[in-house]
Amino acid sequence: MITAGIDLGSAAVKIVLVDEKLNLLWSKVVPTSPESVVLSWKLLSEGLEKIGADKSSFLGVATTGYGRNSFGGRQIVVDEITAISSGINHFTDRKKKLIVNIGGQDIKCIKIEGGGKVADFKMNDKCAAGTGRFFEKISAILNIPVNELNALDTRGAIPIEINSTCAVFVESEILSFLYKNIDKKDIVAAINRSIARRIGDFIRSFSIEEETYLDGGVALNRNLVEAIQEELMMDVRIAAHPQLTAAIGAAVSLLTSEGAIS
Amino acid sequence: MLKLPERLFKQAQKKYLNEIQSEYESERLALRSRDDFLPELEHFIETLSLYTYPERFTQRFSRPIAGFYCVPVPPELLDAFGYHPVRFCRGSASLQKISSFNLPALSCPLIKSCLGSFYLEESLEKKAKLLIISHTCDWMVRFPEISSQTPGRFYTLDLPHIKETERSRKRWQEEIFALKRHLESLSGQRLSRKKLSDSILKYTNAWKLFNQVIDLRRKGSIPGVWFTLIANSFMIDDVDCWARQIELFLKKYPDGARKQAGPRVFLSGSPLVFPNLKLAGLIEEAGMYIAADNLCTSEKLYNTLSCDDLSDYGLLKALAEGCQLPCSCPTFSVNETRIENTLALMKDFDIQGLIHCVLKGCHPFDIESFVLEKKIKESGYRFIKIETDYSREDKEVILTRLEAFKQTF
């Protein structure tokens, strides 16, 4: 049975198609827009066509993310915490672990107890520091595409300090460095350290587990991940498809509720 | 206070008054359109809307208003002097807008909302003969100053922040005795012991009836929104009238009726005040049931008195103790007993988790949340802190958290 999971997030819409063995058959990520629901329908048709699925083999759609209730064609709605947990559980064992999901506009820490159940969680409050939107802003100021922030070689960067983690005020700090002709890679390294400190404080205020996963699109930023590891003084794992975890988790929830998997 | 030219300020007053009235009106409509609305609830909705219609208030109630803020002010004493006690703690998002230019951005929404009423051309606060403020949090301490009222408009009660010592209790009794003297000089009459004991009796009887509503809540019968509404209206209604309406309501709400589904939760933290019943509604929407709370605008907005000594001194001492010792405000320096009481209640009434509401800028409840979280989790219960204000825009974000919280049970 083909199942669709759609994560209508604050920064991007993520859609996946999986089968009952939970193989990822197709996926797509597009920026969130005012027409995200219409877009989701189009993407769904595109994906089903791409993998050649027919109506009889299509189980349905599960939605998650901030726009989860707006997609009319859904079978079930799954809250993001449950979806992310199901997604991570699907790719890993069901042991005790901590998931740190860095989304488009917020950060979620989710503690999973043995057996895969959510034991506790914490979300940051109305601050976009370190989230996807924050790095979009940084990329615009530095005139470096977001995906290249990840590729930038920040090894050997000179240790400058950026103290502001506010998405707006950080701009003036960055500009002051640019006017002093500080290399962009040094600035990016400083931003990563600053954000890693903030994320580290947030995680420590919750709970750290031996097995800690970073999830969400920002987890694709290798430089930030290294800064977080340094801040936490431990290795962190990266989810298999960090941007798609919630969408996959939503699909897993639908398959489970329909009895297709246990 | 005026940072705008007079003409613009008048325009702003008119604009905000319309906004405030439509905010109250839309909440009234939303409540009436609920599937579980009962005609017996209409009185409570109507009474709470009197906050925005001072003229209607004076048409319904004839006694002069004695307004006060926070729990540690004994309404029985005001009632005994012939005043209509009204608690002016407000929950309006529109009211806070009108005062926001005079306060830091991250100020407590309740304070902003309370302050906003003073900026309107007409308000109940402006009609009040007397305004009493109790020094609970720092915001309340500064309230008379920031409200820019004429000196002496507020009578302040200096609340000691330690409950446990005899010295502090005596100091607080002195404050209540001084309030009595102030009321005597204001009204030109001495306190009548009979009037005070009659008043205490009235309040005690009303609260006894309300305890039956609390019992229904413990049994799982009353949605959090209705419970909060009924409790909130105690702050403005005539106590006898409120008690009669509770009786009518109880007749329509037989024991054990309308069992509510979902995990049972305890609600603590910053006060929920009409027309902002957002959090209670969202908890319901997420599929959970508020079985108890310790909010100062709900279950803990009043405490019945225990009084063996029926002399003037004994009655006043009982009033002082009644509004200080059981007070659920976290501004007191030791809060262990309160947290222990919360845990005992959770155990006794099969409550599975605690939702701690913090209004942004309400520092006492925010600071307390860390200790509370630790103790609640150590005792094996689920805990979530929800940070919000009076705006409606964060509904979806809060709902996401509450839905996920429910999954953890």
DSSP string spanning B179-230? HHHHHHHHHTSPPPHHHHHHHHHHHHHHHHHHHHHHHHHHHT-S-HHHHHHH
Question: pLDDT for B107-127, tens place per residue?
Answer: 899 999 999 999 888 899 999
Among all chains, which residue has been given the structure tokens 């922040």? B161
B144: nearest Cα among B112, B175, B115: B115
Q: How many domains does chain B have?
A: 1
- Residue B202 forms part of a structural domain: yes
Question: pLDDT for B40-60, tens place per residue?
Answer: 999 999 999 999 999 999 999
Instruction: Indicate the pTM of the whole model.
Output: 0.85
Q: Which residue has the higher pLDDT, B153 or B79?
A: B79
Question: pLDDT for A95-129, tens place per residue?
Answer: 889 999 988 888 899 999 888 889 999 988 667 77
Type of residue found at A174: I
Tokens of B121: 């051309």
Q: CA B56, CA B51: separation in Å to the nearest integer?
A: 9
A70: nearest Cα among A100, A47, A37, A98: A37
Residues facing B387 on adjacent strands: B358
Q: Measured between CA atoms, how close is B105 to chain A, in angstroms?
A: 14
In chain A, what percentage of residues exceed pLDDT 90?
43
Q: CA A20, CA A101: separation in Å to the nearest integer?
A: 25
B283: left (phi over 0), alpha (psi -120 to 50) or beta: alpha
Of B396, B404, B405, the CB nearest to A66: B396
Is residue B246 over pLDDT 70? Answer: yes
In chain A, what percentage of residues exceed pLDDT 70?
99
ipTM over 0.90? The verdict is no
Return the number of other C-beta atoms located less than 10 Å from residue A183's C-beta.
14
Tokens of B323: 């509004």
Question: pLDDT for B258-307, tens place per residue?
Answer: 677 899 999 999 999 999 999 999 999 999 999 999 999 999 998 888 88
- Residue B42 forms part of a structural domain: yes
Of A79, A117, A119, the CB nearest to B400: A79
What chain A residue is nearest to B380 in terms of C-alpha separation? A119
- Residue B219 forms part of a structural domain: yes
- Residue B372 forms part of a structural domain: yes
- Residue B210 forms part of a structural domain: yes
Is residue B29 over pLDDT 90? Answer: yes
B178: left (phi over 0), alpha (psi -120 to 50) or beta: alpha
- Residue B11 forms part of a structural domain: yes
Residues of chain A positioned with their CB less than 8 A from the CB of B400: 66, 79-81
Write the DSSP symbol of residue B161. S
Residue B17: pLDDT band (50, 70, 90) is: confident
Tokens of B54: 């001072």
* Sign of the dihedral through C-alpha B236, B240, B243, B247: negative
- Domain around B293: 6-407
The pLDDT, as a whole number, for residue A95 is 82
The pLDDT, as a whole number, for residue A228 is 92
Q: CA B78, CA B196: separation in Å to the nearest integer?
A: 9
Q: CA A19, CA A17: separation in Å to the nearest integer?
A: 7
B220: left (phi over 0), alpha (psi -120 to 50) or beta: left
Residue A85: pLDDT band (50, 70, 90) is: very high
- Residue B1 forms part of a structural domain: no
Residues of chain B positioned with their CB less than 8 A from the CB of A118: 404, 407-408
- Provide the CB-side half-sphere exposure for B407 (13 A, CA): 26
